[in-house]
Amino acid sequence: MTLVKTKYNRRSFLKVSAASGGGMMLGFSWLASCNPTKEQALSMPESWFDINAFIKIGENGLVTIFSPNPEIGQNIKTSMPMVVAEELDVAWKNVIVEQAALDTHKYERQIAGGSQSIRRGWQGLRMAGATARHMLMEAAANEWKVTVSSLSTNEGIIKHDESNRTMSYGQMAATASTLEVPENIELKDPKDFKIIGQPTKNVDGEKIISGAPLFGLDFKREGMKISMIEHSPAFGMKLKGFNEEVIKSMPGISDVLVVNTAPKEAAWSNVNAFTEVIAIVGNTTWQVMKAKKALIVEWEWDSPAEDSQDHEFKLAQSLQTGVKELARKDGNAEEAFKKAHNVIEKTYSAPFLAHNTMEPMNFFADVSKAKAELIGPIQTPEAMGKSISNLLDIPIENVTVMLTRMGGGFGRRLYGNFGLEAATISYNTGKPIKLIYTREDDMTQGVYRPAYKVKYRAALDEKNELIGFSIHGTGIHGSPVFENRFPAGAVPNYLAEKMSIDSNISTGAWRAPRSNFIAGAEQSFLDEVAEAAGKDPIDFRLELFDRAIKNPIGTDNDYDPQRYAGVLELVRDKSNWGVKTEGVYRGVSAYFCHNTYVAQVLDMVLINGKHKIKKVWCAIDCGIVINPEGAINQAEGGIIDGIGHAMYSNLTFDKGSPIQKNFDTYSMIRHHQAPSEIEVFFVDNGIDPTGLGEPTLPPISGALANAIYQASGQRLYKQPFIQQDIKLG
């Protein structure tokens, strides 16, 4: 039994009121933690007391849960309400989930990113559901003049067992809304969960497949104009002049202007290489697109043009001679390399990547000097609102940012520069507009996954024991190295060093930042070291985990070796690892990031000399699985996305310009390149849930490279793999 507090220092996480139209309304803080750790309790953020989500229990017994969280495809609009419904004890079929009328004043903690939503929301959601249930029971107890403890509930019905009387939540809702919120509340024992753990369909499934207007790009308001921008074709260039008069006179065009969105105050969410852009406003999308095509623009250089060869050279140089930041040192790695019987050294690299959400960036804005109304897909509405307030000098109270469903995020929609552009265009023209990026604008705008390079070294002694390990990693605008991740903690002599290089190409978070590259590099390297040590790759890893369990080196190790080993053992057993099948080439990989452990085995076959991924086996430890249906879908998505980007995708530069501008030249994984089958297994351990939007992506590139090695005898050090001239069979 877990008891949680609904109040802290006399301030409450919950608020009850009568619902308009009858019934009870319980407001709660979506992302508060009602079981704060000591450190959290000391710094208890104000926002934990902001009431930002609601449960309404109608007199008809229907329960409406107003979910404030942005939905970017992680299915949290289904899984989070499931948690509330579980503790409330109502039938899922009587639950309606509504996207709350969102605005940044009420919903300060809205952010979807880092797979954090479920992890952060778990306790608060359970508390809210349990509290509402308790208050309904209390109302019934008063009515019947019995004790609360003599009552039980089942799917929205309160029962007094002794007298066999029953009453529905709906009947008690109005009365319950007049009661005090209890101070302590008991949560269910996870073994009694009835909704959590049941495969549950996406609540918006029906709307999605019928083409309902859910997305930002679908938003329309009477009198709204369409707008597009033209940013400079190369990083390092700025606007000099353009054929403004010609464009202005084109059919359907009402305004042509230059907008500047350079923020007055730096904010992490304001990544934008092109702060000065040309904006065109007109009646229809096609008219504006045509005007955009007719632009003749003069650009001038502002900073030096970069290209992919430069990057390659500079990254290699930075690994060799760049300024090093010592990130972690255990024992003496250099000494271990000197003493070693065998030293393995390999360098891995990966290119820039674009986000390529299928819905390009867009935003609606209706902005005047006094107020700003923004509507669209954004993962960080609060930050966008602040930046707009700053940029246009509009008091923050008068700025609203409302959310639509998002056609993918993957980190791109953490950076709201398109919202700033939309707001500025509307402000300057005095018209409500919807800004739309073309795919080309979207792919060339520059919030990229940066290019990386990492060098690993491993020292084996004469008994083939790993005695030394080092990692040196560099990247554009930052190193990909996580110094405290595995195998740190399992090797007596360990060294991690970070370097980075500068660039005028802007970069940002991309699905599982840094892990998306480093996991595959590390797992390919370990495969090679295991081979050099003459060990099975799974046994080799398990030996290392065993060391970290029994005799951990250092104190900052960022993982639990027991859980790590657990997923690896699970995937080993499920995939029958060790049993060889003729013509099937297998690779294994395991990684821990975003609080979730993942291990994967990838089976490759050759069909007419071409590779085909026959099956991916994936074991996951993400604690309690709230919605297996959604969780498996997320896991599959991460795997396919991870295979696609490691294998095919590549963004390169020539004279400052991205060479790939649309899907004719930028390769995305396609249907026939996806695995024929993916099977997902979860570790059942009752631990609080962690996220799934990201963790299955990083390791899969390692399993893929290791399987290709089995099929071809070639180790792959450079992404995208497809460009490495692999000779299969």
Instruction: Say how far apart CA 683 and CA 681 lie, in whole Å.
Output: 7
Instruction: Say how far apart CA 328 and CA 484 lie, in whole Å.
Output: 8
Q: Which is nearer to another protein, 414 or 542 (CB)?
A: 414
- Give the shortest CB-171-to-ligand FES separation in angstroms: 42
Report which of 337, 251, 300 is spatially closest to residue 656, judged by C-alpha positions.
300
Q: Which is nearer to ligand FES, 449 or 498 (CB)?
A: 449
Report which of 701, 705, 699, 596 is spatially closest to residue 118, judged by C-alpha positions.
596
- Give the shortest CB-89-to-ligand FES separation in angstroms: 33
Q: Which is nearer to another protein, 283 or 368 (CB)?
A: 283
Interaction partner, residue 337 (ligand FES, another protein, none; CB < 5-8 Å by kind): none
Interaction partner, residue 206 (another protein, ligand FES, none; CB < 5-8 Å by kind): another protein
- Give the shortest CB-518-to-ligand FES separation in angstroms: 25
φ/ψ (deg, to 5) at 472: -125, 120
Q: Which is nearer to another protein, 87 or 641 (CB)?
A: 641
DSSP state of 671: G
Nearest-10 Cα torsion for 38, 41, 47, 50: 120
DSSP state of 49: G
Beta bridge mates, 452: 350, 475
Residue pair 167/143 in contact by the 8 Å Cβ criterion = yes
Q: Which is nearer to another protein, 2 or 287 (CB)?
A: 287
- Residue 216 contacts ligand FES per CB under 6 A: no
- Residue 36 contacts ligand FES per CB under 6 A: no
Interaction partner, residue 577 (ligand FES, another protein, none; CB < 5-8 Å by kind): none
Q: Which is nearer to ligand FES, 354 or 567 (CB)?
A: 354
Interaction partner, residue 278 (ligand FES, another protein, none; CB < 5-8 Å by kind): none
- Strands, E assignment, 169-252: 184-187, 225-230, 237-242
Identity at 599, one-letter amino acid code: A
Which 3 state secondary structure label does DSSP give 514? coil
Identity at 496, one-letter amino acid code: A
Q: Which is nearer to ligand FES, 216 or 537 (CB)?
A: 216
Interaction partner, residue 438 (ligand FES, another protein, none; CB < 5-8 Å by kind): another protein
Instruction: Say how far apart CA 150 and CA 134 lie, in whole Å.
Output: 12
Distant-in-sequence, close-in-space partners of 39: CB < 8 Å, separation ≥ 6:
none
State how beta strands 433-436 and 225-230 pair. Answer: parallel
- Give the shortest CB-662-to-ligand FES separation in angstroms: 9
Q: Which is nearer to another protein, 286 or 313 (CB)?
A: 286
Helices 515-532, 628-647: inter-axial angle, 10-degree rounding: 80
- Give the shortest CB-74-to-another protein separation in angstroms: 8
The site for another protein (CB under 8 A) is made up of 72-75, 201-202, 204-206, 208-215, 217-218, 220, 226, 251, 284-287, 289-290, 356-360, 405-410, 436, 438-439, 629-630, 633-634, 636-641, 644, 662-664, 668-672, 674-678
Residue nearest to ligand FES (CB): 358
Interaction partner, residue 186 (ligand FES, another protein, none; CB < 5-8 Å by kind): none
Helix (H) or strand (E) holding 291: helix 285-293
Q: Which is nearer to ligand FES, 126 or 405 (CB)?
A: 405
Q: Where are the alpha helices (DSSP H) in 93-218?
A: 117-144, 169-176, 205-209
Distant-in-sequence, close-in-space partners of 101: CB < 8 Å, separation ≥ 6:
402
- Give the shortest CB-325-to-ligand FES separation in angstroms: 38
- Give the shortest CB-679-to-another protein separation in angstroms: 10
- Residue 236 contacts ligand FES per CB under 6 A: no
Beta bridge mates, 241: 298
Residue indicated by tokens 């390791």: 699
* Window 367-426: residues binding ligand FES (CB under 6 A): 408
- Residue 262 contacts ligand FES per CB under 6 A: no
Q: How far is CA 187 from CA 4, 56, 84, 87, in A?
A: 7, 20, 11, 7
Which 3 state secondary structure label does DSSP give 397? helix
Q: Which is nearer to another protein, 405 or 453 (CB)?
A: 405
- Give the shortest CB-247-to-ligand FES separation in angstroms: 24
* Window 40-99: residues binding ligand FES (CB under 6 A): 73
Interaction partner, residue 633 (ligand FES, another protein, none; CB < 5-8 Å by kind): another protein
* Given 313, 358, 581, 713, the residue binding ligand FES (CB under 6 A): 358
Per-residue three-class SS string for 329-373: EECCHHHHHHHCCEEEEEEEEECEECCCCCCCCEEEEEECCCCEE
Q: Which is nearer to ligand FES, 246 or 358 (CB)?
A: 358
Interaction partner, residue 309 (ligand FES, another protein, none; CB < 5-8 Å by kind): none
Interface positions with ligand FES (CB under 6 A):
73, 358, 408
